[in-house]
Copies of this chain bind each other. A is one copy, B any other.
């Protein structure tokens, strides 16, 4: 029931040196030592290590982590809730950074050099307040999802059928654009991407370009979406994805 340091390191995906360090600073001292001085970690130690790694991933300092974990006030579920919230925020921030990078890549592909203003605009949104908002906008589980639910919960079956009809009409038109041989970067395709965004904003929730870009990524991982649209026309999923990206880059 007691693991040597190497096993623990392997299990948790950290280096032995890291565990040595945590022992040095008293953050995680194994509860036992062998007669020859070898560290032996038991289950409780592992659990503590896991907590540490969670908070570390959230970029707390080790000192802060010690304070958080040793705080007797907070119980396990409080930690979990807190970690969940922080993780969501952090993901949103990283997602924004990914968008910024994609924007930069797109720009350099087209040979444009970003002006200072543009650069500022792209990253002019990493501050904490916006994070919270973005987190909630991007990650379903929270307010945006609930807002969407609240809004859509009042829709009648008639409404849904109208929404579906509207979607299908849009679907026919984007297929026509594809059939015409236009690229995903063509004005027609981008216009339909824009329409897609407005459709969402109208019926579900405020859909910014960032959010739409996120949706575009999801579509590629969403089998149902693929099944529906690939049946209509092979390549449609990717086409829409690219059109959304092109449109977002051009308009934002």
Contacts and interface: CB of A to CB of B under 8 A. Distances in A.
Interface in A154-180: 155, 157, 160-161, 163-164, 167
Interface in A119-168: 119-120, 122-123, 125-128, 130, 138-141, 144-145, 148-149, 152-153, 155, 157, 160-161, 163-164, 167
A83 interface: yes
A226 interface: yes
Interface stretch (A28-36, A93-101, A187-195): A93-101
A145 to B, nearest CB: 5
Contacts of A148: 220-221, 226
Interface in A70-98: 73, 76-77, 80-81, 83-84, 87-88, 90-91, 93-95, 97-98
A182 interface: no
A61 interface: no
A152 B76 contact: no
Given A152-B226, A217-B140, A222-B222, A116 B81 contact: no
